[in-house]
Amino acid sequence: MSDETPQSVGRRRRIRWSSPTVRISLTVLALISATALVFLSPLALRAFGPSGPGSDRDWQRVGNIAQAYGAASALIAGLALVGVGASLFLQARESKANREQGVRTAHTELIRMAMTDPDLMACWGRLDGDASVTARRQHLYLNLVLSHWETMFELGTLPEEHLRQGADSVFGTEPGQAFWAVSGEARRLASGTRRGRLFHELVDERYRAAVRVRREG
């Protein structure tokens, strides 16, 4: 007897129907069907066209209608191709976002494991000289925080003003400044998107401001 519940079966079906492969297949099938209808339309006109005496004039009228219909069909086919291209572009972008999210989730889990196990934490190497276990845990935790902020900023759910406020709070502490001094440049170079680069520019700006305040104080 299966252990699947109706909810799990329904969820599995929704996932299957919403997968990029299924959507691409349905889009291609719809395009093929539309193209077939366009090519079969002359046969339909011939089957239902006039016959008998005086039909030549009527056939000329049908031909004019067919030409007008052909122009409309070409326009529809062009729009369909544009729609298919846009659909493929959006699906490719969605697939890329899903892969990036999977990588970030795996990275987060690795850091969480290291934070709770000193033996695993040692595998990450020395952070800054003879950093203590506490300093290493703080470094890993701040890495999670900044990564979370970066994701929110790229998604547009973290406004620039809130990011600046959060960065001022973090870099107002010694662990925060120590973290960015070690990791800031590497994180900036790893930015692969325009929003990601803007994120690190804003954060680095607040870090430098915090360092100036600390030196002047």
> Cα–Cα distances in Å, from 54 out to 63, 64, 175?
15, 17, 95
Tens-digit pLDDT profile for residues 127-177: 555 678 888 888 888 988 999 899 889 888 999 999 999 999 999 999 999
Residue 178 reports pLDDT greater than 70:
yes
State if pTM tops 0.75: no
- Of 20-29, 115-124, 130-139, 199-208, the least confident: 20-29
**pLDDT tens-digit readout, 54-76:** 455 555 665 665 565 666 666 66
- Region 172-201: what's the mean pLDDT? 92
Report pLDDT for 62.
57
pLDDT at 108 over 80: no
Burial of 35 (0-12, 13-18, 19+ CB in 10 A): middle
Percent of the chain with pLDDT over 90: 24
From CA 147, how far away is CA 94, in angstroms rounded?
20
